[in-house]
């Protein structure tokens, strides 16, 4: 039992509705939904699901973009003990087939504009109780339904969601997330981000992603705050949305920080309500300083995984921004309260200060496991620790630096090279807007270092210039042997560069 006793997603929603019945819970476009209205919608949809034969333990797939319907599906499943399966909206028909089949889904709710005939054919081949499109008639149908809890109680340790991680070398794994996991994520996020019921969280990253569920949506439910939901991020309308909806906090990624810095300066750059924003890897120190000075928004970094539930490593809001004196890279933060973070060597021994090793995490709330994959579960969860597969190191003050994903470390002639260190140097070149550094097989030296470069608009740079720039700032073996120029990069749903597709 953690911070919320025997509460579940549904019972916490009911509790907050009693406290804030007529307060805005979700704002989306011109629609404002109070806590009372959202609970009513959720329970009506729960009644509809039960009428279709969905019960405790059944999985319902949601192929939906950002909208109140996503939240209704999530919380209606939780009300009856069913399990949400959020599906990446970029999924192909074959990927949809895998998700539905592997998860043993019993129903599918989808958005018409996201699917084609092949998607529907893949769904129809499954043994589903229903395949429901988001349409006006369905809304009216749900309005007639009533929610009557079944005889099967829902417990905090029950699974509330199966969230599939992106697979780079194998099929995606389904992370089992419990009600207790979600509530802990919300509670810890409120503490780390110093949130209150007066906060209005601007969310535009995909709701099918852990970030928009754990750190933001659950934080607002836990605090009794308000969710400002956008369909997606648009740099051209971002500040208009901020002015219109008056958010106080948001969650960003590196790509968005860079895009906002690219926008022309405006006299009203600081005339807004946004006070702070969390972000994930990777932003240079120079860009962080520029962003905070230009927009007056406090940025704090966090580190977490779908499997680790919350942000286990966070930048304390009261701490000054520091960098590693050798690399110039900003740390990802310190272990969150109640979390134990170790850096270990390959033999399992703890690494010394400054020594690079694998980041492993012990937390009050980790995933329950991978669905139908006991081998992967046993490999990832060992002796109470989550083995992240990421490389990092500590300093004497307890700050942790992220060095690289284990799979992204480059091995050249016996030397281990952090792609992030090389990227940090390249990002400081005036002509480089964005870059990605990967290793490619080499018969002589194991791997060569290859840098993919996207130039800033209106600027050019040659491979020779970049080579000399890196040579002055990096050890000789870290300097890229090849520079490849691109118009853009393949990206994940939240804008991270997919390095596995570059190799």
pLDDT value of residue 168: 52
Over residues 128-140, the pLDDT tens digits come to 999 999 999 999 9
Please, what is the angle between helix 463-471 and helix 419-427, to 10°? 110
Q: What is the pTM of this model?
A: 0.89
Residues whose CB is less than 8 angstroms from the CB of residue 341 and which lie 6 or more positions away in sequence, other chains included: 312, 313, 335, 359, 360, 361, 362, 400
pLDDT value of residue 460: 94
2 pLDDT exceeds 80? no
Residue 449: helix, strand or coil by DSSP? strand
Residues 292-297, mean pLDDT to the nearest whole number? 96
Q: Report d(CA 333, CA 318) in Å as an integer.
A: 12
Q: Which residues of 291-304 are buried (b: 16+ CB within 10 A; e: fewer)?
A: beeebebbbbbbbb
Rg of the chain over all Cα atoms, to the nearest angstrom: 23
Q: Which of these, 133, 181, 140, 129, lies nearest to 157 by C-alpha position?
A: 181
Q: Which of these, 184, 242, 172, 245, lies nearest to 213 by C-alpha position?
A: 184
Q: Which of these, 102, 310, 307, 63, lies nearest to 207 by C-alpha position?
A: 63
Calculate the average pLDDT of the chain. 94
Over residues 295-343, the pLDDT tens digits come to 999 999 999 999 999 999 999 999 888 999 888 899 999 999 899 999 9
Q: What is the DSSP pairing of strand 59-63 with strand 105-110?
A: parallel
Higher pLDDT: 265 or 34? It is 34
Instruction: Point out which residues pair with 299 in neighbouring strands.
Output: 277
CATH level 2 (architecture), domain 233-405: 3-Layer(aba) Sandwich (3.40)
Residue given tokens 């972000």 in the structure block: 279
pLDDT value of residue 171: 83
Residue given tokens 């980790």 in the structure block: 366
Over residues 39-77, the pLDDT tens digits come to 999 999 999 999 999 999 999 999 999 999 999 999 999
Q: Report d(CA 484, CA 368) in Å as an integer.
A: 42
371 pLDDT exceeds 70? yes
What length is written for the chain?
Answer: 503
Over residues 440-476, the pLDDT tens digits come to 988 777 899 999 999 998 999 999 999 999 999 988 8
CATH class, 412-501 region? alpha beta
- Angle at Cα 224 formed by Cα 222 and Cα 227, nearest 5°? 95
pLDDT value of residue 271: 93
- Beta-strand ranges (E) seen in 116-158 are 130-133
| Per-domain residue ranges of the chain | 9-190, 233-405, 412-501
Helix (H) / strand (E) containing 227: strand 226-229
pLDDT value of residue 414: 72
Q: Report d(CA 332, CA 237) in Å as an integer.
A: 30
Residues 138-144, mean pLDDT to the nearest whole number? 94
416 pLDDT exceeds 60? yes
CATH 2.40.160.20 fits 9-190, yes or no: no
Q: Report d(CA 502, CA 499) in Å as an integer.
A: 5
Res. 412 pLDDT band, cuts 50 70 90 = confident
* Six-digit token string for 310: 């919350």
Q: Are 363 and 309 in contact, with CB atoms under 8 Å apart? A: yes
Cα separation values, 56 from 77, 142, 368, Å: 9, 19, 17
DSSP state letter for 85: E
Q: Report d(CA 380, CA 370) in Å as an integer.
A: 9
Over residues 195-251, the pLDDT tens digits come to 999 999 999 999 999 999 999 999 999 999 999 999 999 998 999 999 999 999 999
Residues 27-40, mean pLDDT to the nearest whole number? 98
Helix (H) / strand (E) containing 278: strand 276-279
Please count the other Cβ atoms lying within 10 Å of the Cβ belonging to residue 320. Answer: 5
166 pLDDT exceeds 80? no
Q: Report d(CA 331, CA 10) in Å as an integer.
A: 37
DSSP character string of 389-446? EEEEEE-TTS-EEEEEEGGG-EEETTEEE-HHHHHHHHHTSTTEEEEEEEEEEETTTE
1 pLDDT exceeds 60? no
DSSP character string of 249-267? EEEE-HHHHHHHHHSPP-T
Q: Report d(CA 94, CA 130) in Å as an integer.
A: 19
Say yes or no: do domains 9-190 and 412-501 share a fold.
no
Residues whose CB is less than 8 angstroms from the CB of residue 457 and which lie 6 or more positions away in sequence, other chains included: 262, 433
Q: Are 84 and 63 in contact, with CB atoms under 8 Å apart? A: no
- Residue 329: burial class (beta carbons within 10 Å; 0-12, 13-18, 19+): buried
Residue given tokens 């092949």 in the structure block: 118
DSSP character string of 333-362? BEEPTT-EEEEE-TTSPBPPTT--EEEEEE
Q: Report d(CA 96, CA 259) in Å as an integer.
A: 31
């Amino acid at each position: 039992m953690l911070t919320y006793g025997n509460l579940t997603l549904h019972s916490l929603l009911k509790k907050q509705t009693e406290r804030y019945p007529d307060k805005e819970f979700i704002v989306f476009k011109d629609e404002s939904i109070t806590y009372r209205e959202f609970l009513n919608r959720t329970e009506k949809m729960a009644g509809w699901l039960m009428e279709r034969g969905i019960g405790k333990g059944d999985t319902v797939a949601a192929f939906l973009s950002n909208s109140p319907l996503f939240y209704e599906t999530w919380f209606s499943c939780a009300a009856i003990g069913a399990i949400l399966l959020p599906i990446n909206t970029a999924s192909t028909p074959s990927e949809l087939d895998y998700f539905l089949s592997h998860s043993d889904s019993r129903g599918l709710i989808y958005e018409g504009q996201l699917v084609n005939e092949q998607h529907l054919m893949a769904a129809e081949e499954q043994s589903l109780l229903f395949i429901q499109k988001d349409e006006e008639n369905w809304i009216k149908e749900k309005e007639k339904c009533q929610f009557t809890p079944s005889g099967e109680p829902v417990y905090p340790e029950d699974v509330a969601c199966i969230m599939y991680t992106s697979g780079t070398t194998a099929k995606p794994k389904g992370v089992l997330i419990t009600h207790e996991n979600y509530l802990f994520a919300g509670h810890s996020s409120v503490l780390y981000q110093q949130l209150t019921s007066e906060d209005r969280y601007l969310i535009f990253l995909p709701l099918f992603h852990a970030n928009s569920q754990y750190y933001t949506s659950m934080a607002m439910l836990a605090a009794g705050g308000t969710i400002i939901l956008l369909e997606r991020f648009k740099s051209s309308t971002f500040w208009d949305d901020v002015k219109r909806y008056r958010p106080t906090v948001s969650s960003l990624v590196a790509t968005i920080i860079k895009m906002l810095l690219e926008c022309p300066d405006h006299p009203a750059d600081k005339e807004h309500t946004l006070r702070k924003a969390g972000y994930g890897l990777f932003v240079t120190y120079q860009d962080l300083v520029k962003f905070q000075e230009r927009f007056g928004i406090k940025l704090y970094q966090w580190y977490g995984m779908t499997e680790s539930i919350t942000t286990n490593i966070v930048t304390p809001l009261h701490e000054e921004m520091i960098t590693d004196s050798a690399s110039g890279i900003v740390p990802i933060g310190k272990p969150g309260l109640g979390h134990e973070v170790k850096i270990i060597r390959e033999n399992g021994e703890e690494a010394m200060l400054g020594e690079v090793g694998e980041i492993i995490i012990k937390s009050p709330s980790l995933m329950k496991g991978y669905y139908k994959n006991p081998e992967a579960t046993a490999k990832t969860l060992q002796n109470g620790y989550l083995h992240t597969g990421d490389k990092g190191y500590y300093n004497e003050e307890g700050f942790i630096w992220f060095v690289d994903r284990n799979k992204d470390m480059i091995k050249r002639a016996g030397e281990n090279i952090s792609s992030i260190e090389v990227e940090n140097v390249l990002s400081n070149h005036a002509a480089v807007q964005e870059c990605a550094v990967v290793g490619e097989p080499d018969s002589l030296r194991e791997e060569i270092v290859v840098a993919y470069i996207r130039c800033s608009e209106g600027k050019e740079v040659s491979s020779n210039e970049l080579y000399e720039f890196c040579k002055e700032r990096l050890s000789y073996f870290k300097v890229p042997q090849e520079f490849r120029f691109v118009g853009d990069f393949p990206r994940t749903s939240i804008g991270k560069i997919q390095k596995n597709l570059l190799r």
